[in-house]
Structure 1
Amino acid sequence: MNLNNNKGKKIKIAAIITVLFIIFVVAFLVSQIGPYNKNNKKDIVIDIPTGSTLNQVTDVLKENKLIKNKIIFKLYAKLSNNSSTLKSGTYLFNQTFSNKEIINDLAKGKIYNQGVRITIPEGATSFEIIDLLVKNNIGKKGIYEKLINNPKEFKERFTYLDNKEITSLEGFLYPSTYYFKEDESEKEVLSQMLKTFESKYNEKLQKRQKELDQSLYEVVKLASIVEKEAVLDKDRPIIASVFYNRMNISMPLQSDATIQYVFKERKKSITYDDLKIESPYNTYRVAGLPPTPIANPGIKSIEAVLYPADTEYLYFVAKIDGGNTYSKTYEEHIKNVQQYRKDREKRNNSYSTDK
Structure 2
Amino acid sequence: MDLNKNKWKVIKLTSFILVVLIGIFIFTQIGPYNRNNKKDIVIDIPSGSTVSKISDILYENELIKNKTLFKVVAKVSEKSPNIKAGKYLLNQTYSNNDIINLLASGRIYQDGVKITIPEGSTSKEIINILISKKLGNKETYENLIQNPKEFYDKFSYLKEDDITCLEGFLYPETYYFDENASEKEILSQMLSEFNKIYSDKLKEKQKELNMTLQQVVNLASIVEKEAVLDEDRPTIASVFYNRLEKDMQLQSDATIQYIFKERKKIVTYNDLKIDSPYNSYRNKGLPPTPIANPGVKSIQATLYPDDTKYLYFVAKLNGGNNYSVEYKDHLKYVKEYKDERAKLNQNKIEEK
* 8 A Cα contact 1:313 1:328, kept in partner: yes
1:171 matched to 2:156? The reply is: no
**Counterpart position of 2:137:** 140
**Structure 1 pair 109/167, CA: closer, same or farther in 2 (3 Å)?**
closer
Q: Number of paired residues?
A: 299
- How far apart in 2 are the matches of 1:108 and 1:179? 19
- How far apart in 2 are the matches of 1:218 and 1:180? 30
Shift of 1:76: 2.8
Q: Provide structure 1 residue ranges, at least 5 long, that are not aligned to the other structure.
A: 1-26, 32-40, 47-58
- How far apart in 1 are the matches of 2:216 and 2:139? 28
1:92 matched to 2:88? The reply is: yes
Structure 2: which amino acid aligns with 1:207?
E
1:254 matched to 2:251? The reply is: yes
Shift of 1:91: 3.6
**Counterpart position of 2:77:** 76
**Counterpart position of 1:207:** 204
What percentage of residue pairs aligned between the two structures are identical?
56
**Counterpart position of 2:44:** 44
* 8 A Cα contact 1:252 1:287, kept in partner: yes
Larger radius of gyration: 2
**Structure 1 pair 309/130, CA: closer, same or farther in 2 (3 Å)?**
same
* 8 A Cα contact 1:61 1:67, kept in partner: no
Q: Secondary structure at the match of 1:262?
A: coil
- Partner deviation per Cα, 1:45-80 (whole Å, 9 max, x = no partner): 67xxxxxxxxxxxx8665995489xxx96983459x
* 8 A Cα contact 1:237 1:308, kept in partner: yes
**Structure 1 pair 99/254, CA: closer, same or farther in 2 (3 Å)?**
farther
**Counterpart position of 2:279:** 282
Q: Secondary structure at the match of 1:167?
A: coil
Of the candidates 318, 336, 340, which is equivalent to residue 339 of structure 1? 336
**Structure 1 pair 332/103, CA: closer, same or farther in 2 (3 Å)?**
farther
Q: Provide structure 2 residue ranges, at least 5 long, that are not aligned to the other structure.
A: 1-25, 31-40, 57-72
**Counterpart position of 1:11:** none
- How far apart in 2 are the matches of 1:64 and 1:277? 61
- How far apart in 2 are the matches of 1:63 and 1:246? 53
- How far apart in 1 are the matches of 2:315 and 2:292? 20
- How far apart in 2 are the matches of 1:346 and 1:89? 56
Structure 2: which amino acid aligns with 1:242?
V
1:1-355 residue pairs with structure 2 within 5 A?
Answer: 43-44=43-44, 66=54, 76-77=77-78, 91-92=87-88, 100-105=97-102, 110-355=107-352
* 8 A Cα contact 1:237 1:307, kept in partner: yes
**Structure 1 pair 62/170, CA: closer, same or farther in 2 (3 Å)?**
farther
- How far apart in 1 are the matches of 2:52 and 2:269? 54
* 8 A Cα contact 1:171 1:295, kept in partner: yes
- Partner deviation per Cα, 1:130-161 (whole Å, 9 max, x = no partner): 01100100000010000000000001100100
- How far apart in 1 are the matches of 2:156 and 2:192? 11
Structure 2: which amino acid aligns with 1:344?
R
TM-score by length of 1: 0.76
CA RMSD between the two structures: 3.3
Shift of 1:182: 1.5
Structure 2: which amino acid aligns with 1:322?
G
Structure 1: which amino acid aligns with 2:195?
E
Shift of 1:345: 1.4
Shift of 1:350: 2.2
Shift of 1:284: 0.4
**Structure 1 pair 275/207, CA: closer, same or farther in 2 (3 Å)?**
same
Q: Secondary structure at the match of 2:77?
A: helix
- How far apart in 2 are the matches of 1:60 and 1:354? 62
- How far apart in 2 are the matches of 1:344 and 1:233? 23
* 8 A Cα contact 1:229 1:257, kept in partner: yes
**Structure 1 pair 346/155, CA: closer, same or farther in 2 (3 Å)?**
same
* 8 A Cα contact 2:88 2:103, kept in partner: no
- How far apart in 1 are the matches of 2:109 and 2:180? 18
**Structure 1 pair 334/152, CA: closer, same or farther in 2 (3 Å)?**
same
Shift of 1:114: 1.0
* 8 A Cα contact 1:123 1:295, kept in partner: yes
TM-score by length of 2: 0.77
Shift of 1:112: 1.5
* 8 A Cα contact 2:234 2:306, kept in partner: yes
**Counterpart position of 2:33:** none
Structure 2: which amino acid aligns with 1:92?
Y
